[in-house]
Amino acid sequence: MEFGKILWESENHKEEEGADQVMNEKSEEASEQPAEEEESMEQGNSVSAVDVAQTEEKMDRQKEMQEEKEKAEDDVKREDNNQDNKEEKRGRKRSRSRSRSKDRSRRKSGSPHRQKSRSRSRDRHRHSPRGKSPPREEESEEWLSATDVQWDRYNSDLNLKIDKDGFKCVPLTMEGFAFMWAGARAMWGVKEGKVCYEVKIMEQIKVDHLPDEETSRHVVRVGWSTGDTSMQLGEEPHSYGYGGTAKSSVNCKFNDYGETFGEGDVIGAYVDFESDPVIINFTKNGVDQGNCFEVPASELEGKALFPHVLTKNTEFEANFGQKEEPMSTILEGFTFLNAVPVESRQRGALPPEKKEDCEVLMMCGLPGSGKTYWANKHVAEFPDKQYCILGTNNIIDKMKVMGLPRKRNYAGRWDVLIDKSTRCLNRLLEVAARKKRNYILDQTNVYPSAQRRKMRPFEGFQRKAIVVIPTDETFKERIAGREKEEGKDVPEHAVLEMKANFHLPEVGSPFDAVEFVEQSKEEAEKLVKQYNEEGQKMFPPHKRFRSDDRRGGRDFRGGDRRDFRGRGGGYQDRNRYGGGGGGRGGGFRDRYGGRDDRGRGGRGSYGDHHGYQGRSHSGRGK
C-alpha cells in the first residue's frame, strides 16, 4: 500500500455532523487483539507527512471555499432584502396615498363606511444575514469545590464526557473517535492506608462504522496512577492498569492477569500502602484476582495514587463510596476512597482560576524546524501548567493497540484514518476552548488563515505564537538527520510548497504576543522572504472564489488570490508529553507532529529519545 498519496477531490466536502451524539444500541462484545510480543514505546511508527498534509489542506480549502460561498450568498440575500424593503416602502407609500384619497372621497360623499387601508406589498423573500456565532458556553465550575471524590474534569481527556454528578463517563465515538482511547483520573488521590473504589462497565456503544478488521472495539482499563502521568493508563511508569482482555500493564508492558471482563461486570481496584512493596490488586464481581503489582514504596517517591480509568467506546460508572451499598463484595480491611478524611487525601492539580490565566501557544514553523522539541521541553520545564498538546499526531497516538503504534495494527487505508483524525482534532479544538486549560497547538501553522481560524475560539485566553525558524543550514542538517534516522527521503516539493505560503504571525488579532525562539524576528523575516521566493517559483497562484460586494452584490467573480498550496509532506515530530485528547505532561510519545491543517509537513521536529544531535548553535532545537 502506498501511504504517500492521497487523491485530490474537487467536489465539496460535507462536514462531520454531530459532536456529542452517543449511540445507544448495544453491539457484540469484542476482545482486544493480543500482541505477539512486547515492544517498547521507543519503537515509533512512521506516518506519511504527505498523507496528513494533503488531507488537512483539502479540508481547510473546502472549509474556506464554503465560507466564502456562504458569504457571497449572504451578500446576495442582503441585497435582495434591501431591494425588497425599498419596494415594500414604495408600496406602503402608494397604499397610504390611495387610502387617503378614498377617505377624502368617502367624507365628501358622506359614506358611513370607512375601510382601513392595507398594504399590498408582501415580504416574499425575507432573508437575514448570518449573525455572529453565539458565545461559547464555558464548562461549569461547581465541581471544583466538591470534597467528595469524583472524576476530574481537568485531569481527563477532551474526548471523554463526564456527567454532572461526576461518576459516569461516556467517550465520544463518532467517526475517528471510535479508534481512540479516552481516560480520566479522580479528583482525589491517596498515599496511605488500604483504599479501594469500584467501576461498573456500562454500555458498549455501537460503533458499526469501524472496519470489520477492527477487533478491539470495546475495551476498558481500570487502575491507579500518579498525578504527573498521561491519560494513557498502563503505558508509562507509575501508571498501573488491569484491562478487560485479562492483561495487566505498566510502562507499556503487558502481562496475563485475572479474567476478561466486559459489559455488566464490576471491577474493584485496591491499593495497600501499609505494606512495602505497595500492593495493587483487583476484583471482578467481588472475586479477588490476586496481586497484580508490587511497587517498592521508594519508587513512588511519596507520590499519591489516583483512581484512573481508560476506555474505548464503553461507558462506565465509578463508586468511590458515594453509594449506600457497594456494587459488589469489598475485600476485608479496605476502605472506600470517599470515606478517607479529606485531610488524609491529596487533591489533584487545579485548573487556572480565570480564562485570562489560560495560555494557548501556537507553534509556527516548517516541518522539521524543531517545534515539537521546543513544545516537549517547555512542557517539562513548566509541569505546573499541565499543558495539553493538541495535534493530529496526538490523535493518532491515542489509537494504540496494546500500547503498540496504530499503523502496525491497521489494515485499512491510512489516508482515510488521517482524514478522520483531522476531523477529530477540529472537534477537540472546539471542546478545548470551553475548558480552562493551557494548550500547545503543535502543527506547522504557517498559513495565516489557519492561524486565525484556530485561535478564534480561544478569545479571552492568552494567545501566543511560538515561531521556530532555525538558520537554513541548521534546518538542512535537521532534515538530513531525519532522513538518515527514518531511512527515507523527505519530499522536497512538500517543503517548497510550505515555504511559498509561509506567513509570519504578528502581534494583534489573533495573537497577544509572538515569540521567536531560534533566530531574531529580523533574521526570521529575511529567511521567510527567501522561502517565499523559492516556493513561488515552483507553484503558480490559485484563483479563489470571491463575491463582489462592492457593486450590488449580485454577481460573483474569481478573486486572484495568491495561494501556493499543493501536495507534499514533511516528517516526524515526537511528542513525549502531551495527549491529543487532552492528556498532559510526561505522557505517550507523539510520532506524527508538526502538521498544519492546511499545509504541508507532518512528522516535523525531532524525537529526543532517538538522540539526534543536529542542534543549532543556539542550543534550542534538535
Ordered domains of the chain (ranges, CATH): 49-72+353-610 (3.40.50.300), 150-344 (2.60.120.920)
Q: Dump pLDDT digits (tens) for 504-515.
A: 999 998 999 999
- What pLDDT score was predicted for residue 64? 58
- What pLDDT score was predicted for residue 560? 41
- What pLDDT score was predicted for residue 476? 84
Residue 68 has pLDDT above 90, yes or no: no
Q: Once rounded to an integer, what is the mean pLDDT over residues 515-538?
A: 92
Cell numbers that stand for 336 in this block? 472506600
Q: In this structure, are residues 472 and 392 in contact, taking their beta carbons and an 8 Å threshold?
A: no
Q: What is the DSSP letter of 22?
A: -
pTM: 0.68
Burial of 356 (0-12, 13-18, 19+ CB in 10 A): exposed
Q: What is the mean pLDDT of the chain?
A: 75
Of 501 and 619, more confident: 501
Residue 130 has pLDDT above 90, yes or no: no
Percent of the chain with pLDDT over 90: 48
Order of strands across the sheet with 462-467? 388-390, 439-441, 359-364, 462-467, 513-516
Dist. CA 294–CA 39, nearest whole Å: 22
- What pLDDT score was predicted for residue 367? 86
Residues 6+ apart with CB under 8 A from 564: 497, 500, 501, 535, 536, 538, 539, 540, 541, 542
Residue 26 has pLDDT above 80, yes or no: no
Q: In this structure, are residues 616 and 425 in contact, taking their beta carbons and an 8 Å threshold?
A: no
Q: What is the DSSP letter of 115?
A: P
Dist. CA 41–CA 37, nearest whole Å: 13
Residue 617 has pLDDT above 60, yes or no: no
Q: Once rounded to an integer, what is the mean pLDDT over residues 167-195?
A: 96
Predicted confidence band of residue 495 (pLDDT cuts 50, 70, 90)? confident
Q: Dump pLDDT digits (tens) for 231-258.
A: 999 999 999 999 999 999 999 999 999 9
Q: Once rounded to an integer, what is the mean pLDDT over residues 211-234?
A: 93
Q: Once rounded to an integer, what is the mean pLDDT over residues 384-389?
A: 94
What are the distances in angstroms from CA 307 to CA 27, 186, 304, 337? Answer: 28, 5, 10, 9
Of 399 and 287, more confident: 287
Residue 82 has pLDDT above 70, yes or no: no
- What pLDDT score was predicted for residue 275? 93
Cell numbers that stand for 462 in this block? 492568552
Residue 200 has pLDDT above 50, yes or no: yes
Predicted confidence band of residue 546 (pLDDT cuts 50, 70, 90)? very low
- Compute the CA torsion angle 479, 485, 486, 489 (nearest 10 deg): 40
* DSSP letter for each residue of 481-511: HHHHHHTSPPPHHHHHHHHHH-----BBTTB
SS3 category, 424: helix
Predicted confidence band of residue 481 (pLDDT cuts 50, 70, 90)? confident
**Cell 522539521, residue?**
368
Dist. CA 493–CA 472, nearest whole Å: 16
Of 30 and 407, more confident: 407
Strands, E assignment, 456-574: 462-467, 513-516, 544-547, 556-559
Query: Length of the chain in residues, anyone?
Result: 622
Of 340 and 418, more confident: 340
What are the distances in angstroms from CA 46 to CA 240, 258, 367? Answer: 28, 34, 14
Pairing mode, if any, of strands 462-467 and 513-516?
Answer: parallel
Q: Of 108-112, 249-253, 259-263, 441-445, which gets the smallest average pLDDT? A: 108-112
Q: Of 315-329, 433-447, 541-555, which gets the smallest average pLDDT? A: 541-555
Torsion-angle region of residue 422: left (phi > 0), alpha (psi -120 to 50) or beta? alpha
Q: Once rounded to an integer, what is the mean pLDDT over residues 78-87?
A: 60
- What pLDDT score was predicted for residue 586? 40
Residue 52 has pLDDT above 90, yes or no: no
Residue 582 has pLDDT above 60, yes or no: no
Cell numbers that stand for 221 in this block? 482499563
* DSSP letter for each residue of 67-104: HHHHHHHHHHHHHHHHHHHHHHHHHHHHHHHHHHHHHH
Segment of 86-100, 501-515, 596-610 carrying the highest mean pLDDT: 501-515
Of 358 and 560, more confident: 358
Residue 22 has pLDDT above 60, yes or no: no
Dist. CA 259–CA 266, nearest whole Å: 12
Residue 71 has pLDDT above 70, yes or no: no
